[in-house]
Structure 1
Amino acid sequence: MRRALSLLVAAATLLTACTAVGPRSLRYGRGTYNAAIQQTNSEQLLLNLVRLRYRDAPLFLEVTSISSSLSVELGAGLGGTIAPGGNSSVAPGTAVTYIDRPTITYAPLQGSRFGKQFLSPVELGDILLLYHAGWAIDRIFKVFVQRLGPMQNAPRASGPTPLEAPEFQAFFTATELLRSLWADGLVDLSYLPSVAGNALSLTLVSRTDSTERIARLCALFGLPGPASTITLTDAPRPGEPNAVLLVPRSLLGGMYYVSHGVEVPGEDYAIGRVPITRDKDGELFDWARLTRALMRVHYGRREPAGAYVSVYYRGLWFWIADNDLDSKSTFSFITQVLEMQSGELKGAGPVLTLPVAAQ
């Protein structure tokens, strides 16, 4: 009787466990994997920004697939006590163990796919998509545009840190004017139907309080006078009215640009680990003049508490503060562009598959 009873209890427990294991694995597994991928992607991006600051080669390792196998192991037995006077007792016992065995596949981003994703200039259509996604127009232009008409936005900062101070003041003045007009709802960016994908139409709404700003902006663009519609193109045609050259950066160029917001210790400058940029007077150039409102990455000897994202590299901790909304916005912005440029994983080359046993 006792054996039969224990078998019945074990069978009922196993049936219950098998019925619940699917929904339970989805409820707890999906959120956990989602959070882990999001966190490690952020850490990988920050790590590569720090690498670029030190002129080290970046490397992206993508999670291409996760296959999780959840199994149930059931144990059953009898237990009891033996006491004098006939007070002995026997009771069946069961134990259910859930075992998650994930298989995670990684693919290093390299070859032609790396070139297409990171080295190709960002298309004007993607700039338009980012604009309509709600990103501030000055953030888009500062990170992914290196020339606008006659104005330079530190084009050599699209690569390793240059030794000479960049030219950027006029470009920043123009983007600040654009932002003020954008904040007032007086700017619109759209495709040009005739040359879709190669040119954008920048519409400026003239109002009593915007006339002066528009005139200053058009003068910075090199236009002969104020205009309500400006053509932004990567290949302006001779004689085209109100056409302004727009030269976009690549994704890697934008990452190099914001990587100048990574702070490094003075000793790394002294021993030549990080290049020193000087102005025309020979004074040390402060890259925070470009990146202050875009990106600021702190460093320290100890792991920071409560950071938005942090990584350990070259014996130091680097992190973005959780209350630095500008840096967090730029970081999320680059993450979104990284996803937009990623394309498909077909033909990604060699992969690394790691079976992980967890009990």
Structure 2
Amino acid sequence: MVLTRRHPLHGIRLALVLTTVCCVGGCGTLGPASVQRDRTEYGDVLASTWKEQTLLNIVKLRYGDAPVYLDVSSVISSSALESQVSLGSSWFSGFPSDGDSQTVLATGRYTDRPTISYTPLSGERFSRYLLCPLSPGAVFSLIQAGYPVDRVLQLTTRAINGVYNRSTSPTRIRSADPRFYQLLDTLRRIQRSEALGMRISPRGDDDNSLMIISRGVPASVAKDSHAVREILQLKPDASELTLTFGMVPRSDTEVAVLTRSMSEIFAEIAATIEAPPEHVAQGRANPMPALPEATSPWDQPLVRIRSSTERPADAYATVRYRDHWFWIDDRDMRSKSEFLFILVLFSLAETGVAPQAPVITVPAN
């Protein structure tokens, strides 16, 4: 009887080939594909939680609770994909033989270790963000950048040259001066015409220089410009004005803007939340103040926040608090645009140097 056996070197050669393949492609990071995935998904989550945190803190003010803010200071995503293939073979030199045997084993592992750092808003940064009034220069820079002047001034100012805005805050509740809404409408018409421009430049201390630039002004715009100067009691032919923070101007060439802080803006919005009646009756939430009579479309709530026991199906932003859902309707464009503008203002309120993020050591796998 003649027996034929495979040479043992055949199994060794095969093992070497597979081992080489494993060494080349066995362990590697996800590479560019992870950037395409992570950047979009992390960005969506950060934007969504930013809206929810702001909405929740506004609701808390209605209930007399302290707002808490956590900034995401850094996001470090570390991921890796590992694979391994093992090959084993054995043969027998004796006779009779049970035959050759081979073993193949493949393993894989995916690792994702995101490192997210949170920075609580407190101390000096809390004061800058929430308690300090917005800079008049920053407010007018937004207008210069193209934001609607009427919406900006209605949300951010208490008064301009002694002409007062409406307030729904329990501590400052009052109707708007008769000429404040006229001022908003007139300024909006001037902005849309693009016949009058302005330039803002630092002047020293907290004051800024406000330059009014004319470009072949038609009669209707000239009339509106004259009306604005009359309402604010400005010098009729002054083209350079001083922009400053204050209640009343020091001269007829000064625009004194009494701006709100972010906490004041939040209090204005919190006062008009549609809180559950049972919470108000039980004393858990502040009752809605006796608001001044609404005489203009401008008297509508800045942001309409609704409440319900069931989670809304179509919401722009929603949070759960005290066994109720508080939300902004996704079909309410006025409330959505105002809320988005509040988020922009919240970023603008940071006037100092941002604190350094904590130093984090991440393994390089």
Corresponding residue for 2:34? Answer: 25
In structure 2, do the counterparts of structure 1 residues 169 and 300 end up closer, same or farther at CA, with 3 Å as the change threshold?
farther
Q: Which of the numbers 304, 315, 321 marks the counterpart of 1:307?
A: 315
Secondary structure of the residue aligned to 1:308 is strand
Q: Which amino acid aligns with 1:54?
A: Y
Map 1:134-173 → 2, pairs under 5 A: 134-154=146-166, 157=169, 161-162=170-171, 164-173=173-182
* Length, aligned pairs only: 335
Aligned: 1:102 with 2:114: yes
Inter-CA distance 113–193: structure 2 relative to 1 (3 Å threshold):
closer
Aligned to 1:336: 344
Q: Secondary structure at the match of 1:210?
A: helix
Match of 1:115 in 2: 127
Provide, for residues 268-287 of structure 1, a one-character-per-residue CA deviation record: whole Å limited to 9, x for no partner.
3333322332258xx8x899
Q: Which of 1 and 2 has greater Rg?
A: 2
Q: 2:77 aligns to what SS in structure 1?
A: strand
Q: Is the 8 A contact 1:322 1:328 kept in 2?
A: yes
What's the CA shift string for 1:101-129, capped at 9, x where partnerless? 11222121011211122211211221133
Change (3 A) 1:126 1:225: closer
C-alpha spacing 1:146/1:344, structure 2 compared with 1 (3 Å): same
Q: What letter corresponds to residue 261 of structure 2 in structure 1?
A: S
Structure 2 gaps, min length 5: 1-9, 88-100
Deviation at 1:258, TM superposition (A): 3.2
1:40 and 2:40 are equivalent in the alignment: no
TM-score (norm 1): 0.77
Q: Give the one of 238, 245, 248 matched to 1:234.
A: 245
After alignment, is 168-177 or 222-231 more displaced? 222-231
How has the CA–CA distance of structure 1 residues 230 and 128 changed in structure 2, closer, same or farther, with 3 Å as cutoff?
same
Q: Does 1:51 align with 2:51?
A: no
Q: 1:211 to 1:72 in 2, by over 3 A?
A: closer
Q: Which amino acid aligns with 2:184?
A: T
Contact 1:308 1:322 in 2 (8 A): yes
Distance 1:133 1:163, change over 3 A: closer
Q: Deviations 1:287-342 (Å, cap 9, x if unpaired)?
A: 996344x3222222221223222111122112222232222222222212222333
Q: Which one is further off, 19-28 or 190-199?
A: 190-199
Over 3 Å counting, the alpha-carbon distance change for 1:253 and 1:189 in structure 2 is farther
Q: What fraction of aligned residue pairs are identical, expressed as a percent?
A: 28
1:83 matched residue in structure 2: none
**Change in 2 beyond 3 A, CA 1:21/1:141:** same
- Counterpart in 2 of 1:217? 228
The separation in 1 between residues aligned to 2:317 and 2:279, in whole angstroms, is 23
C-alpha distance in structure 1 between counterparts of 2:35 and 2:177, whole Å: 51
Measure, in 1, the Cα distance between the counterparts of 2:39 and 2:291: 52
CA RMSD of aligned residues (A): 3.7
TM-score for both structures, normalised by structure 2: 0.76
1:269 correspondence with 2:280: yes
Give the SS at the match of 1:71.
Answer: strand
- Residue 21 of structure 1 aligns to a residue in which SS? coil
2:263 to 243, 252, 255: 252
The answer to whether the aligner puts 1:323 opposite 2:331 as a matched pair is: yes
Point out which structure has higher relative CO (alpha carbons under 8 A, 6+ apart): 1
Q: Contact between 1:150 and 1:222, CA under 8 Å: does it hold in 2?
A: no
